[in-house]
Amino acid sequence: MARHIRFDRLGGPEVLHLREVDPGVPGAGEVLIRVEAIGVNRADAMFREGGYFLQPGFPSSLGYEAAGTVEALGEDVTGLAVGDPVGVVPAFSLNDYGTYGDHVIVPAAAVVPRPSGTDPVTAASVWMAYVTAYGALIDEGGLRPGDHVLLTAASGGVGLAAIQTARRIGAVPVATVRGPSKRQALLDAGAAHVIDTENEDLVARVQEITGGHGVRLAFDPVAGPGVDTLAEAIAPGGRLLVYGALDPRPTPLPNAALYPDLSTGMFTMFRVTGDPERLRRAVAFINAGLSDGSLAPVVDRTFDLGDAAEAHRYMESNAQTGKIVLTVDHGPDAA
């Protein structure tokens, strides 16, 4: 038997419960992973409470990310072997698979090699955030050395990954934060500039930082009416990519009446994880960064698998800077 986090109804963290389940055997194109660590993401909480683009069927599992070792392979799986250290990337539906467990089955297309020397907690912190950052900034956003990129709500896992990703290619990350409490943490993480939007004028500061040119790319998880302000901070010919909806209000076409010279769009990480060639490039970039130290996930706090509800409460408090990870204790008798 395996231990999995499941829930039977929509609601707050209290609906999450640890249960013993039969993990089953991997079918064709599937892999059984002995899990050591699990990345916790906003998408997990949104799925749990019914605010995600997918609605769960009950009983439901959850979780997009994990790190562990291969325990069994289904038919037609190539390129992996039992015992391989691996990571699980978000490349599946939460209605079909989930990673909140000590042994989980996932599609082989979502399993990637873990770089030598990368511990499970680090490996479980990587894929959602860094594939999103790489896909939006480089693969789709075309960010280049010397470009300024504006990263809003930058103290989360994706924001911190985007700071490091921009730094790795020689771009200039400009981070925003609400209030002064996380300013130093963002500077320590590599932000070239930090704008406190509660106490500073965003557009004026961007113009000052960029010598009046504006940023080439803005990467935003908030959406809502605030995109109008972001549009004013973007250089002519630049781009706004929205990848979340922390603000539930409608998101207008930025300054449509003024017809600004910029392109806008929504970005989803699944564009990368659902395309084998794009995912291959992303994994190569991220693994190289992990190996040379230029990409280093910031882990705020770890919780035991059985404390998943408490981990969700902590995430929803917005107190963290960086990633929250669940760890799995297999006990002294585990192989």
Burial of 88 (0-12, 13-18, 19+ CB in 10 A): buried
Average pLDDT over residues 220-236: 93
Reported as a pLDDT band with limits 50, 70 and 90, residue 257 is: low
2-126+297-327 adopts what CATH topology? Quinone Oxidoreductase; Chain A, domain 1 (3.90.180)
Secondary structure E strands in 158-298: 172-177, 193-196, 215-220, 234-242, 262-266
What is the per-residue pLDDT for 330?
A: 87
Q: Are the C-beta atoms of 213 and 232 separated by less than 8 Å?
A: no
pLDDT per residue as tens digits for the range 21-45: 999 999 999 999 999 999 999 899 9
What is the per-residue pLDDT for 335?
A: 40
Q: Which three-class secondary structure state does DSSP give residue 107?
A: strand
Q: For the domain 129-270, what is the CATH code?
A: 3.40.50.720
Q: Which residues contact 150 (CB under 8 A, 6 or more apart)?
A: 174, 176, 206, 215, 217, 218, 219, 220, 230, 233, 234
DSSP per residue, 12-81: SGGG-EEEEE------TTEEEEEEEEEEE-HHHHHHHHT-SSSPPPSSB---S-EEEEEEEE-TT--S--
Reported as a pLDDT band with limits 50, 70 and 90, residue 163 is: very high
Q: Are the C-beta atoms of 183 and 177 separated by less than 8 Å?
A: yes
Domain positions in the chain are 2-126+297-327, 129-270
Percent of the chain residues past pLDDT 70, beyond the cut: 98
pLDDT per residue as tens digits for the range 57-71: 999 999 999 999 999
Q: Are the C-beta atoms of 198 and 178 separated by less than 8 Å?
A: yes
Residue 310 is inside which H or E element, if any? Answer: helix 308-316
Phi, psi (deg, nearest 5) at residue 54:
-110, 145
Q: In whole angstroms, give the CA distance from residue 39 to residue 199.
A: 33
What is the per-residue pLDDT for 87?
A: 95
pLDDT per residue as tens digits for the range 190-215: 999 999 999 999 999 999 999 999 99
Burial of 257 (0-12, 13-18, 19+ CB in 10 A): exposed
